[in-house]
Structure 1
Amino acid sequence: MNHHNAAFWSDSPSPQENRNTTLHLFCYFDQLSFSENKYTMVLQCLYKGDMAMHFSWYKQPFREKPNLISTIYKYDKYATFYHEFKDNPRFSVQSSNGVNHLSISDIKGSDSATYYCGSAHSNVVEFGKGTILNVKGISNSMSVLQQPVSESVQPGYSVTLNCTIHTETCAGGHSVYWFRHGSGESRPGIIYTHGDRSYQCEKSSEAGSPTQRCVYNLPKRNLSLSDAGTYYCAVASCGEILFGDGTKLDIHEMGNIKGFILSGGDIQVATEVDMRILVLLSIIRTGVLLCCLTIIFLIYLIRK
C-alpha cells in the first residue's frame, strides 16, 4: 500500500494588498480517498468582495515559470483548463460564491510545486502568496538527512549546516535548495540553491544500483540574531521534491562580559554577577591573608 504524505506552508495577504478583493489561500487535507490507495488534495481559495470577476489557478514548479492551470468566470459553473491540465481528470475546480477551490486527485510527485490563486478585475490580476505543496513518500530510494538537528551559538560565531542526500541518478540531474523559516514568519523563504552539482556525488557501490550519495554544506558566518530559525534542505530530482526535517539554529546573547575565571586550566566567561561575587571573595581572601601574616609577624616578634 503506497500512501502519499503532503507537507505545505501557506499564507494569506492582508486587506491592504487587495482593497477590492481579499484572497485567503490555504491548504489542507479536505478528504482522504483510499480508492487505489491514493490521496486527494484540495487547495482552498476564499475571496471577499464584488469587484473580481475572473479567477485562476497557477502552478510553479521549482526553477520554472508559472503555468496556468484554470480560469473561471464568476457566474460560470465550470472552469476552463489549459496545457497539460486540459482534459486531465485529476484536476477539477469547485466554484461558488466566494469560493474557488482546486482539487488534485491521485497525488503524484510531479504535483510538488507552489500553487497560486488569482483574481482579475479592471485588467488587473492579483494573487495570494501561494502554497508550497511537497509530496513525500513516493520514492523509497530518495532520502534527505540534515545534521545537526539543532545548534545553539552566540552572535558573531560561525556554523556549518550539513545536508546528505541519497537519490536516484536522473538524466536531468538534481538541484538542492535551502530554506529558512524564521520565528514569527508564516512560511519559509528560499535563501540559497546549489544548482545541479551531480559531479560532487558518489555513486552506490552496489552493482546496477541507480542511487548516489551527495553531501552539501551551508556555511553561515558572523551570525546575528536575525539568522535564527529552522533551516530546511530540499532536493528536486526525478520529478520529485523531498525536504529534510530541518536544523533549528538558536542564537543567544550572553550577559555583559566583564572578565574571565581561570579554573583548573579552563577559561570560563564571567558575567557581571559573577564578577561581583569574585570581588567579594577576593576581598575576604585578602583580609584573611593579612590577618594570618599579622599573627605570624607578632609571634616572630614575641619569640625574638
Structure 2
Amino acid sequence: MTLECTSIALSDFLSVSIGETVTLKCSHKGQTLKRIFWFKKSFGRKPELICSFYVHSTEVEFFDEFKNNRRFILDTENKNHNLKIFDFQFSDSATYNCIHSDSYILTFLESYSVHVKDPSSSIQTSLDQSSSENIHPGDSVTLNCTVHTGSCDGEHRVYWFKDSEDSHPGLIYTDGGRNDQCERKKNTQTHSCVYKLHMKNLIESHSGIYYCAVVSCGHILFGNGTKLDLTEENFPPFVYFLSGVLTAALIFLTSYTIHKTQRCKSKGKILFSDFFINDIHFLTVKHSIKCFNLLSARLPLLKM
C-alpha cells in the first residue's frame, strides 16, 4: 500500500483575540470529494484529529477532546467544510489543516496558522539566559533558562537546541507540561519559572551555543543563547618554568650517563687486548725456554 500526499494550499496566518469566533474555510472548489478531515498541530505536539466528514453523509464525527466540545463545529452548508471555533483560547493557538482523503491519496486543501493576541492581558513574557560558561574537560555544568510571565500561568513547553561549528542546529532535549519549577512573586501577577539543563563529564564535542525555546501562553520565545567554552587547565607560570628546567636537567643527565658508559666500555676493551697479547707473548717465550732446557738435558744421553 502506497500513501500519497499532495498540497494545493498555502498556509494563512491569522491573529485573533481571546474570546473571538474564528472561521477556518475549506471548500471543494468544484472537485469531487469523498472524506474531509480537520487536524490541529500545536508546536511540539503530534497532530490531533479534530473531526471527519463523509461527503455523502450529513453526519460529522469529532474525536477525543473535541468530542462533545461545543466550541468546535463543522459547517457543511453550501458544499463547504468550514471549521468554526467559538470563544478562542490561548490553548487554541496552532496550525489547522483541512485534508481531503480519496483512497490512498491525501490532499491538503487549506492550512491556517492561528496566533492569539490579547491586548488586555499582561503577558509580558520574557526569557533570560546566561551569556557564557567557561568549564574544563570532565567537569559538569547546569544551564539555566528563566521565564517571566504575567497573568498567563498555563503550562510551558521548553526546548533546548545546540548550535556548533561542526554541526547544524538541532534539538537535544525537551521538557514539556511541567510547572513544578515555577513560583509567583508576592503581591504581583508575575510568574517566574526556571528550567535547567544538566550535563556531566563534558568533552570537547560539547562546545557550542545552547539555546532554550519556551512555548508560553500562545507565544514562542527564544533565548539569546549560552556559549559553552571548554578550556584546558591553566597552571601558574612558575610551574611551566620548573617543568622546563627539570626536563632539560633530565636530558643532560641521560646524555652524560650514556656518554660515560660508552667511553668506559671502549677503554676496557683496549686494556684487555694489551694484557691478553702480552700474556700470550710471555707464555710463548716461557714455553720456548722450557723446551730448550729440556732438549739440552737430553742431548748428552743421545750422544752416549
Q: What TM-score do you get using the length of structure 2 for normalisation?
A: 0.45
More strand by share: 1
Q: What TM-score do you get using the length of structure 1 for normalisation?
A: 0.45
Structure number, greater radius of gyration:
2
